[in-house]
Amino acid sequence: MDVTITPSQVAGTTAAPPSKSYTHRAILAGGYSDEVTVRNPLVSADTRATMRAVNAFGGEVIHNTETGTLEITGFDGNPEVPEDVIDCANSGTTIRLATATGALADGSTVLTGDESLRSRPQEPLLLAIDQLAGRAQSTRENGQAPLVVGGPLMGGSAPLPGDVSSQFVTALLFAGAATDAGINIALQNELKSAPYVDITLDVLDAFGISARRTSQGFSVGGRQSYRLRDGAYSVPGDFSSISYLLAAGALAGNESVTVTEAYPGPQGDQAIVTILEEMGASIDWNHETGELTVTAESLSGVEVAVADTPDLLPTLAVLGAAADGTTTLTECEHVRYKETDRVGAMADTLSKMGATVDEYENKLVVHGSESTLQGTTVDGRADHRVIMALSVAALTAAGKTKIKGAEHVDVSFPNFFDVMETLGVALSRSE
């Protein structure tokens, strides 16, 4: 599907979509449990992949469309050997969580995904599983999927690099609670995307699992049982997705844009609120009611390190292209290992739209004062975050912007374009 956006002004109120990160973890924790209800889940392409993985390991995930909940019957910490290959599609979170889970089973689990997922790095997790008495290998011996893992994983201590993916830490913490010995993770360098592990610790705690930070990294005790304390688990709103709505309001607001269900918590991407304030946007955030309101103002460039907030880079690049001065995004090398190289993708597409952008290995510099965005045809790179960020850029570009492959927003925000229309965006869809 292609989407063509005409420059528009936005206004109104909309609810934040549920968090993809929390939903992934809640589904997996439900799989490790006995019976769990997950309220307000994000049902998207990525989270459906995690549902399939839980089903493959002997659990059952049912989406109750009447109540909007997920009803999960888990495998209670003892995953079965899947009868077939687990297809993780485009979900990096799924393949990493499922890889560690498969290492608990007394047999072999095969995992793969689409072309993009098969290019993403997995070797640090495979090496850690080997060191923890499991079995893990890349079928092509290049550290990428397809993967074959087996167990049973016994636990112990393992080193992990912190600058490739925090999902490796998350995967081992989830599986470690079900091992005999538990798992101690020794980080070999500084952890990137650290707030995502904070989300993991938050979900584990809700399910009764004791895991913690240590002086070297992280630790989780073994022989623990996943038991939800409060009967049902409620997924909070997603600040990665909220960032596009706030950016739209900050750049093209006719009146204010209000996002509901935006409660503060461990999500690193809530930094978008502070960053927009630093750029000059008018923000009002009621923590008690979860209402977050932005009013358009003239924006100025900023310098932001995205080590802990990689998913914000596309949004911030677009904001920088429309702001006065220069916006510099640093510590972004790991952002190249997502669904696509998001640093290169944003540099290329914004340049095509008329922005002046300098791309470096670990830095992206957007010269807003030297940029005049023009509508054109751009490739969404099959990346939901690139597509949504470009949709925001299109609001202030001169002329219409066509975004190719826009259906990939289904990964994290399936009704994104419907929401944009309710806020006043003029757009059309075509096959």
* 173-211 pLDDT, tens digit each: 999 999 999 999 999 999 999 999 999 999 999 999 999
Per-residue model confidence as pLDDT tens digits over 51-97: 999 999 999 999 999 999 999 999 999 999 999 999 999 999 999 99
3-class SS of residue 137: strand
pLDDT at 6: 98
Query: 46, 269, 311, 410: which one is catalytic?
Result: 311
Give the total number of structural domains in the chain: 2
Per-residue model confidence as pLDDT tens digits over 133-175: 999 999 999 999 999 999 999 999 999 999 999 999 999 999 9
Residues 184 and 270 in one domain: no
Q: Which amino acid is at 431?
A: E
In whole angstroms, give the CA distance from residue 333 to residue 395. 28
Structure tokens at 348: 């290329």
Residues 55 and 188 in one domain: yes
pLDDT at 188: 97
Range of the domain at 366: 2-17+237-430
Last residue within a domain, chosen from 199, 234, 269: 234
In whole angstroms, give the CA distance from residue 411 to residue 425. 21
The whole model's pTM is what?
0.91
CATH code of 251's domain: 3.65.10.10
Per-residue model confidence as pLDDT tens digits over 355-367: 999 999 999 999 9
Residue environment code for 343-371, b if the CB has 16+ CB neighbours within 10 A, otherwise e = bebbbbbbbebbbbbebeeebbbbbbeeb
Residues 11 and 35 in one domain: no
Last residue within a domain, chosen from 234, 260, 280: 234
Mean pLDDT of 341-346: 97
Residues 195 and 340 in one domain: no
Mean pLDDT of 282-289: 97
pLDDT at 416 over 90: yes
In the structure, what pLDDT confidence band is assigned to residue 337 with cuts at 50, 70 and 90? confident
Q: Residue holding tokens 């209800």? A: 37
Residues 212 and 266 in one domain: no
pLDDT at 339: 86
In whole angstroms, give the CA distance from residue 290 to residue 145. 40
In the structure, what pLDDT confidence band is assigned to residue 230 with cuts at 50, 70 and 90? confident
* Other Cβ atoms closer than 10 A to 398: 12
Question: Whose CA is closest to 259, among 282, 297, 286, 291?
Answer: 291
Residues 34 and 9 in one domain: no
Residues 403 and 286 in one domain: yes
In whole angstroms, give the CA distance from residue 275 to residue 302. 8
Last residue within a domain, chosen from 170, 199, 234: 234
Residue pair 62/105 in contact (Cβ under 8 Å)? The answer is: no
Q: End-to-end alpha-carbon separation of the chain, Å?
A: 5
Q: Residue holding tokens 């690139």? A: 386
Structure tokens at 403: 């975004």
pLDDT at 106 over 90: yes
- Strand runs (DSSP E) across 238-396, as ranges? 253-260, 282-286, 291-295, 303-305, 326-330, 356-360, 363-367, 377-379
311 catalytically annotated: yes
Q: Residue holding tokens 């709505």? A: 245
pLDDT at 69: 98
pLDDT at 231: 79
* Other Cβ atoms closer than 10 A to 99: 29
Residues 191 and 211 in one domain: yes
**Residue 227: CA count within 13 A, CB half-sphere:** 4
Residues 37 and 51 in one domain: yes
Residues 141 and 247 in one domain: no
Residues 65 and 199 in one domain: yes
